Structure formats: C-alpha cells, structure tokens
Amino acid sequence: VQLVESGGGLVQPGGSLRLSCAASGLTASNTYMAWFRQAPGKEREGVAHIYTNSGSTVYADSVKGRFTISRDNANNVVYLQMNSLKPEDTASYYCAARRPNSDAIWYQTTWYDSWGQGTQVTVS
C-alpha cells in the first residue's frame, strides 16, 4: 500500500487549502481512510475519517464545520478540503488507511496500517 499526500502550503488565516491523498495497492472503494495532523511537540491527532464504500464521515470537534473529507473511488483519491483555516491548524498532515475492524477507534493511530509521508500546512 502506498499513500502520497499533496496540496499543502502556506495560507493566510481564513483561507482554504485542499489536500489530496493518492492511494495504490488497496481497494480504495472499500476501505477506511483518515487524515491526521501533527504539530511540533504535539501528538498526532485524528482530523477526519471516511469509509470509502458508503462515504460515511466523522470529524474531530476542532475542525467540524470547516473541513470536509471526501473520496474519488474511480481515481483512488481521498481529499481534505480545509476552509476558514486558523493558525492552530498549522501542522504536518498525514493520510492513513486501515483494515476493517469493529473495535477500531478512528482517531487512534495504532489502528492504521499504512501512512503517507505527510504534507506541511502553515497558516500565518
């Protein structure tokens, strides 16, 4: 499995960015994928999660109403649309994929088998 993120950059507060995660080596139309982020000196935290089969999503409270996770199963890509960005959104953003597991807690990193290399988002 290979996950490759893109779309990060520098943006002013209130601005928008769209991150992309290109997936290969997995059945993109039937997997669980998420975006995490990690700021310097902080733990990696779950931002948003999607079940690519149904499109069902869940978000961290800190981004609810501002970020949207979506998927393009035909092209094996998962997106994170980020609007109304704040300085506290500054972090490296990572795409992750996991296998189905009824015990999984989506925002816990240990459940994920595959990770991308990350893309930097700076809001300043």
- Select from 84, 114, 82, 90 the least CA-distant residue to 41: 90
pLDDT tens figures, 50-74: 998 899 999 999 999 999 999 998 9
CA atoms within 13 A on the CB side of 78: 35
Share of the chain above pLDDT 90, in %: 84
Higher pLDDT, 77 or 30: 77
CB-CB neighbours of 33 under 10 Å: 24
Question: What whole-number distance in Å separates Cα of residue 83 and Cα of residue 72?
Answer: 20
Residue 30 has pLDDT above 90, yes or no: no
Question: What whole-number distance in Å separates Cα of residue 38 and Cα of residue 41?
Answer: 8
Q: What is the pLDDT of residue 28?
A: 64
- Under the banding of pLDDT at 50, 70 and 90, the label for residue 100 is confident
- Under the banding of pLDDT at 50, 70 and 90, the label for residue 99 is confident
Using CA atoms, how far residue 23 sits from 3, 60, 99, 108, in Å, is 5, 23, 14, 20
CB-CB neighbours of 86 under 10 Å: 13
**Mean pLDDT along residues 21-25:** 92
Residue 26 has pLDDT above 90, yes or no: no
**Mean pLDDT along residues 101-121:** 94
Give the sign of the dihedral formed by CA 19, CA 21, CA 27, CA 32: negative
**Mean pLDDT along residues 19-29:** 86
